[in-house]
Amino acid sequence: MNNVQPGPTATDMNPSDGPQSEIIKNLLPVKRFGTDDEIASLVAYLTSPEAGFVTGASLTIDGGYLA
């Protein structure tokens, strides 16, 4: 089993133009929120045959927030 750990991601409940968004964006090296497509792409990879040897991993996709 693998674990996907998304960082700040633009959603209806967490819009990229919300009240705290500029503060959060300034903490990110990429200076933007992630998209649901970017998170979904990582999940799609993990469910594909190409990731068959990836097990027990915690994968952070956060635009460098924790870097």
* Domain positions in the chain: 3-61
What pLDDT score was predicted for residue 47?
97
pLDDT digits (tens, 9 = 90+) for 16-63: 999 999 999 999 999 999 999 999 999 999 999 999 999 999 999 999
Report the b/e string of 48-60 with b at 16+ CB within 10 A.
Answer: eeeeeeeeeeeee
What pLDDT score was predicted for residue 23?
96
What pLDDT score was predicted for residue 39?
98
Owner of token pair 């500029």: 22
What pLDDT score was predicted for residue 12?
95
Per DSSP, 58 falls in state E
